[in-house]
């Protein structure tokens, strides 16, 4: 039996790169040689045992690979081609699936969370969850899953054309949001983040105003943002999950406006919200989880250039450098880290 190298967790915060058997493709499945796998904030949560991991676990849910073997029934024309993988498989029969909410499927299989993912030399997946990306550079294709999550987020937000929008965060998600918000009807987009280099990337993607967050004096940043919209912003989006950001979101939202909670960090445990504020000012709070029915639209956005991939992947690591890759997710100097097995 042939073996491969993979990142394997046996419990929270305890992992190693070990030799494991190369899986064999069963009916309807394909075996991929992993070319690139993205590392994101979800992997930090999984490292801590959050988000429902199943052990032993090989993380990695943003996967680009080459199809190297086919199971019975898998389309023969996939062999030898480069694909990106929708990492989730829903049952299609439970109450949530019947309500078109596959991300909340009662029997959801999520590769990299409760099934083997792409932080390995090879990964097994369903052929019908593969999308051909021979025309895209692997480091562009690896952005498909995060773009799909943003596309679903915009479905949930249902932005009113001409809305005045404040976006906290200029990491990969914030920059993808910037690209798509300016093309989805935002009347003005203000992006606030602590890192000047990332704000420059937001500016290049069409942000109307960028504001550098002062981590030592967050009140000063809040005051500066309030000056930009004295009556408040129509929409305030948090793509960071940082407690210091969540705090002022309501005060920066206009009466009748919307707070959109998109980001999440291990520190995002509690958010003090005054119910009277929501009641009296008729505020709306929305959230968005993962991606649903949006991979095809994400690829269209990457192919058309609506999402600008330049400069997003900024660090590359091998499997033996997984600890460094995980740390890079929290490094303000890093935009997007990937593993290259």
* pLDDT for residue 243: 78
What does the block give as tokens for 273? Answer: 């919200």
Q: Is the pLDDT of residue 324 over 80?
A: yes
Q: Which DSSP state fits 198?
A: H
Do 170 and 202 meet the contact criterion of CB atoms below 8 Å apart? yes
Q: Is the pLDDT of residue 114 over 70?
A: yes
Give residue 79's pLDDT band: very low, low, confident or very high (50, 70, 90).
very high
Domain boundaries, the chain: 3-143+309-339, 148-287
Longest CA pairwise span in the chain (Å): 67
Specify the fold of 148-287. Rossmann fold (3.40.50)
Burial class (CB in 10 A: 0-12, 13-18, 19+), 269: exposed
What's the confidence (pLDDT) of residue 268? 63
Angle between helices 172-181 and 196-204 (to 10 degrees): 30
The contacts of residue 219 (CB under 8 Å, 6+ apart) are none
**pLDDT score at 271:** 81
- Summarised one tens digit per residue, pLDDT across range 264-308 is 766 666 787 889 999 999 999 999 999 999 999 999 999 999 999
Which residues lie below 8 Å from residue 179, measured CB to CB, with a gap of 6+? 205, 206, 301, 306, 307, 308
Q: Are 42 and 172 in contact (CB under 8 A)?
A: no
Average pLDDT over residues 143-153: 98
Tell me: pLDDT of 93 over 70. Answer: yes
Distance of alpha carbon 4 from the chain centroid: 27
Across-strand partners of 169?
Answer: none
Name the residue among 132, 118, 124 with its Cα closest to residue 80. 132
**Rounded average pLDDT over 113-132:** 98
Task: For residues 212-228, give the mean pLDDT.
Answer: 94
CATH no., domain 3-143+309-339? 3.90.180.10
Look-up of token digits 């600890």? 323
d(CA 64, CA 299) in angstroms, rounded, equals: 13
78-102 average pLDDT score: 97
Predicted pLDDT of residue 269: 65
- Return the pLDDT at 266: 61
CA gap 194, 178 in Å, rounded? 16
Q: Per-residue pLDDT averaged across 150-177, rounded?
A: 97
Q: Identify the CA nearest to 237 among candidates 312, 166, 302, 180.
A: 166
Q: What pLDDT is attached to residue 21?
A: 97
pLDDT of residue 272: 79
* Confidence band, pLDDT 50/70/90 cuts, at residue 1: low
pLDDT tens profile 9-35: 999 999 999 999 999 999 999 999 999
What mean pLDDT do residues 139-148 have? 98
Task: Tell me what the mean pLDDT of segment 54-65 comes to.
Answer: 98
Residue 293: CB atoms within 10 Å: 14
- Nearest alpha-carbon partner for 236 in 278, 272, 285: 285
pTM, rounded to two decimals: 0.95
């Amino acid at each position: 039996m042939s073996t491969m190298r993979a990142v394997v967790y046996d419990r929270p915060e305890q992992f190693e790169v070990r030799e494991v058997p190369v899986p064999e493709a069963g009916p309807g499945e394909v075996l991929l040689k992993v070319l690139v796998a993205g590392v994101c904030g979800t992997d930090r949560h999984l490292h801590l045992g959050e988000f429902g991991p199943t052990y032993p676990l090989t993380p990695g849910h943003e996967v680009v690979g080459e199809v190297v073997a086919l199971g019975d029934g898998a389309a023969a024309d996939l062999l030898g081609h480069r694909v990106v993988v929708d990492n989730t498989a829903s049952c299609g029969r439970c109450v949530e699936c019947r309500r078109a909410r596959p991300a909340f499927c009662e029997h959801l299989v999520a590769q990299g969370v409760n099934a083997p993912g792409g932080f390995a030399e090879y990964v097994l997946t369903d052929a019908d969850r593969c999308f051909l990306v021979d025309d895209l550079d692997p480091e562009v294709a690896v952005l498909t899953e995060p773009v799909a999550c943003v596309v679903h987020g915009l479905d949930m937000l249902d932005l009113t054309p001409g809305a005045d929008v404040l976006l906290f965060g200029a990491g990969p998600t914030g920059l993808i949001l910037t690209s798509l918000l300016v093309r989805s009807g935002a009347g003005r987009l203000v992006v606030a983040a602590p890192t000047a280099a990332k704000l420059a990337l937001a500016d290049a993607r069409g942000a109307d105003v960028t504001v550098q967050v002062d981590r030592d004096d967050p009140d000063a940043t809040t005051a500066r943002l309030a000056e930009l919209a004295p009556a408040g912003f129509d929409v305030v989006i948090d793509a960071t999950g940082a407690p210091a950001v969540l705090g002022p979101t309501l005060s920066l939202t206009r009466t009748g406006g919307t707070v959109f909670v998109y980001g999440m960090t291990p520190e995002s445990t509690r958010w003090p919200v005054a119910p009277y504020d929501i009641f009296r000012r008729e505020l709306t709070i929305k959230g968005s989880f993962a991606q649903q029915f949006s991979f095809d639209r994400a690829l269209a956005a990457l192919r058309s250039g609506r999402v600008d991939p330049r400069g997003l992947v900024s660090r590359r690591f091998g499997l033996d450098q997984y600890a460094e890759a995980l740390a890079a997710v929290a490094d303000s100097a890093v935009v997007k880290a990937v593993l290259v097995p």
